[in-house]
Structure 1
């Protein structure tokens, strides 16, 4: 079957080790099921995998990709939940210390077919296209959990999103504005800031800009490049929710400001199967749909990966299969 995969890591030149070609057909063990992929979305996790971050060479070749929508063995339209918990685990999958994502221990979704635990398949709403549904399990689910589960913030409060154009950021803007939050963003270019305003952001600023007032919460996925600004932008008692660090994992902690102004720093990662279903119901009710930057055939995977690596994004990058 056709797939996008990696056979050897390259920390400094990840695109050089991205391969698109034939891989063996997957076989579903007991309790697992095969999904025929119609669309699969790209995430920063896939670039990290090419670099060998969280994916040692001994697990390669590895088909990349966490997100997919397609059809199950009965022809039903489904969405794949990317978090694979350990056998026998009950409760919040994100708290399972032995959890993994597809393409870490198990072959990923950037392929014609993928096998997943049967519990990781959820019905796709008819109102969502395959491309829209494939955009949800990582970036949109991460945004949903950050804002509605982990932050403690309420509609009417002001939330700053660092980085206006990525998948998580655009999801936060769309979900937050639909739910009644005042969403502010930072963006590196006028084009990115204008696009965020069109998605529902109330105000957009240059990176590091002094804000008109301090905010109740900051949604962080950038890390080193924005961390200091995030902490300084908060009101006393405010909260920063962090889900990643695409620019590095060694930010200046600003600990003096954290304890003097009693800030909360909250971690958040992915989301549960139930939260994915709640997210899809919210989209059905509100009419909000994922912002898709570009949809490409899987044979053009290099173009999609290059767009993400170079920051040429305005929403999700999706591959049709």
Structure 2
């Protein structure tokens, strides 16, 4: 079979490679992959992977959808079932798994980081890491849910009670996780304000009815505070890191919350401790979400509560080009890898 394998770090590292198909373990399911999506962590694995325990060569890709090829006799799945991958292979036995918080599992392995991932024609997946997907679901849209939307779901719903009457401010809303958070916060009925750059992106968000400010403006913080009658936002979502951290803290309402899941511009900002304790602010770290949160996310998607925007679609052989597109400033929406057509498709 064919897969995109990371052979060494660097731009030339990911290559379409012919490898042996995987074998199904006793508790596993063989899945014929149909689509996957590209995430920032794929670029991190390509360029460094520092701090993530892994060995090369490694099949890349964290999230995706497929259909069952083969399952064990006691499995809940049958050949042909449409499935979506929960990105974690969790142990199910540690205190965190038993409490239903799988992202904190002490033995977790993430596809495309610690073990072979989704940019492959066939995967062997533990049954516990599969969720049934409606056969009517759009495959390209569903392929975007596992990382960006699951991470956004926990940031929006898992840390603070967000709903009508709440104000959510989102930094860099053109990115995958931030855009997903915007959609989910609006789905919950919150008032959403975003930062982005460029007239085209500003116009895009405003056309959706979302208040948008340009983060390149020196008075961006004042603009946001003016929009909120100087109160600020109940929840600030920031996956940018050091570059936006100070502004994010100043935008928070008294008693407000900041949820962070990334540090692409640096990991060591000023803590501004006096502001934290005087205003009684809370900072929450967040990474992906639990299996139950994932199930709820998938069901919300299947009801049409939100529609993931697709920027572009690339075949499996052109994953390096998809990585290059992810790094372009004018990208809007998720980048999808089309791997195969469903069986029976015209």
Is residue 76 of structure 2 the alignment partner of residue 80 of structure 1? no
Residues matched between the structures, number:
316
Deviation at 1:201, TM superposition (A): 5.2
| Residue of structure 2 in register with 1:205 after alignment | 213
Deviation at 1:197, TM superposition (A): 3.1
| Residue of structure 1 in register with 2:298 after alignment | 280
| Residue of structure 2 in register with 1:46 after alignment | 42
The TM-score, its normalising length taken from structure 1, stands at: 0.93
For each residue in 1:174-220, what CA deviation from the matched residue of structure 2 results, as whole angstroms up to 9, or x when unmatched? Answer: 1111221111111122222222334x452111116121232111011
Q: Is the 8 A contact 2:187 2:305 kept in 1?
A: no
| Larger-gyration structure (1/2) | 2
Deviation at 1:246, TM superposition (A): 2.1
Q: What root-mean-square deviation, in Å, do the aligned CA atoms of Structure 1 and Structure 2 show?
A: 1.8
Output the CA distance in 1 between the equivalents of 2:26 and 2:141. 30
Deviation at 1:311, TM superposition (A): 3.5
Q: Is the 8 A contact 2:162 2:188 kept in 1?
A: no
Alignment counterpart, residue 237 of structure 1, candidates 255, 258, 266:
255
Deviation at 1:224, TM superposition (A): 1.4
Output the CA distance in 1 between the equivalents of 2:53 and 2:65. 28
Is residue 6 of structure 2 the alignment partner of residue 6 of structure 1? yes
User: Any unmatched runs of 5+ in structure 2?
Assistant: 70-78, 340-346
- The more displaced of 27-36 and 63-72 is 27-36
Output the CA distance in 1 between the equivalents of 2:166 and 2:154. 17
User: Any unmatched runs of 5+ in structure 1?
Assistant: none
Deviation at 1:87, TM superposition (A): 5.4
Output the CA distance in 2 between the equivalents of 1:92 and 1:300. 35
- The more displaced of 148-157 and 288-297 is 148-157
| Residue of structure 1 in register with 2:134 after alignment | 125
Q: Is the 8 A contact 2:238 2:258 kept in 1?
A: yes
Output the CA distance in 1 between the equivalents of 2:90 and 2:145. 19
Residue aligned with 1:226, SS: helix
Change (3 A) 1:301 1:228: same
Alignment counterpart, residue 275 of structure 2, candidates 257, 261, 268:
257
| Residue of structure 2 in register with 1:35 after alignment | 31
Deviation at 1:169, TM superposition (A): 1.3
Deviation at 1:58, TM superposition (A): 6.2
Residue aligned with 1:245, SS: coil
Output the CA distance in 1 between the equivalents of 2:265 and 2:37. 21
Deviation at 1:233, TM superposition (A): 0.6
- The more displaced of 126-135 and 234-243 is 126-135
Deviation at 1:49, TM superposition (A): 0.6
Change (3 A) 1:32 1:145: same
The TM-score, its normalising length taken from structure 2, stands at: 0.86
Output the CA distance in 2 between the equivalents of 1:129 and 1:254. 44
Output the CA distance in 1 between the equivalents of 2:305 and 2:253. 32
